[in-house]
Amino acid sequence: MAFLWLLVAVAVAAFIVPVIVIIYLDGIGIRAIGFGVGSALLHSAYSLALARGYHHGDLSLVYPVSRGLSSALIPLGAVVILAERPSPQATFGIALVVIGVYVLNVQGRTLRDLVEPLRSLNRPDTRFAVLTGALIAGYSLWDKSALDHLSPITLSFVSATGPLFLAAPIVLRDGASSVRMEWRERRWSVLAAGCLAALAYLLVLIALTTGRISYIAPAREIGIVFGASLGVWVLKEGYGPVRIMSAVLIVAGAITLAVSP
């Protein structure tokens, strides 16, 4: 949690000067403030759920489930909320993502193993991964609407500011020692992750200003296959072949969505 909190602090620091200039030049309205507050709250809940998921489970499980589930939920939400209409090809892509997320929790080849994912919701890692996926879908749909009132840079800054302040009481409840230790031992990782996370979401927001969220948001989940692979090969987590195959299915679905008409 301390690492993620410091990561967010770096992202906020990276954007604070450009945002001040933008607000000074363009101003900010009441509706923009409302969308900004909503985005900050959703991103705060997402950060907390993600941290708890990584605390309880493997990277190669929590990351693909949360990201893959959001890839399926976002197009469905776009149909209901934003009145977007995915093509049959995009619908097939969503199906691939759902299958990949399901297979990710299969840990054997017997019939009992095939129904194991239905029982995996009893585990805290899977529950937090599912919650994280739902929150990703929620903030993605919200931020798509918020871009009508806020620039991508300002919205990216606001989405990071929420977790920075709202998660502070949790991170600092036992004092600042964990934050100091994390910074002392992993400062270069914190700086790299903070800058990359800030740049990544800014690019997503810029893309959302040019197209439909039901295609763009799932396409960002190409990183799922890398996350699963790193968890298996670098962190030595189990069930490697199944998890990598599942990640490939999820990415195939994301690519199908990205190229759909």
The DSSP result for 67-134, as a single string, is HHHHHHHHHHHHHHHS-----HHHHHHHHHHHHHHHHHT--SSSHHHHTHHHHGGGSHHHHHHHHHHH
Q: How many whole angstroms separate alpha carbon 131 and alpha carbon 115? A: 21
The tokens describing 162, both together, are 């929420």
Mean pLDDT, range 187-203, rounded to an integer = 91
The predicted model gives 102-114 an average pLDDT of 63
Confidence (pLDDT) at 142: 94
**pTM of the complete model:** 0.77
pLDDT value of position 115: 61
* The pLDDT of residue 135: 93
How much is the pLDDT for 187? 92
> What per-residue confidence (pLDDT) applies to 60?
64
Residue 111 has pLDDT above 70, yes or no: no
Q: What's residue 119's pLDDT? A: 62
Name the percent of the chain lying above pLDDT 70. 87
pLDDT one-digit tens code per residue, 17-73: 999 999 988 888 999 999 999 999 999 999 889 888 888 877 767 777 787 778 778
- Flag the least confident range among 82-86, 109-113, 152-156, 252-256: 109-113
How many domains, the chain? 1
Whether residue 148 is predicted with pLDDT greater than 70 in this model: the reply is yes
pLDDT tens digits, residue range 220-255?
766 766 777 777 778 777 666 777 777 788 778 877
pLDDT score of 88 more than 90: no
Average pLDDT for the chain: 82
Gap between the Cα atoms of 11 and 202, Å rounded: 11
Structural domain range at position 6: 2-258
What is residue 106's predicted lDDT score, i.e. its pLDDT? 67
- Angstrom distance (rounded) from CA 48 to CA 34: 22
**Other CB atoms within 10 Å distance of the CB of residue 138:** 20
Residue 89 pLDDT > 70, yes or no?
yes
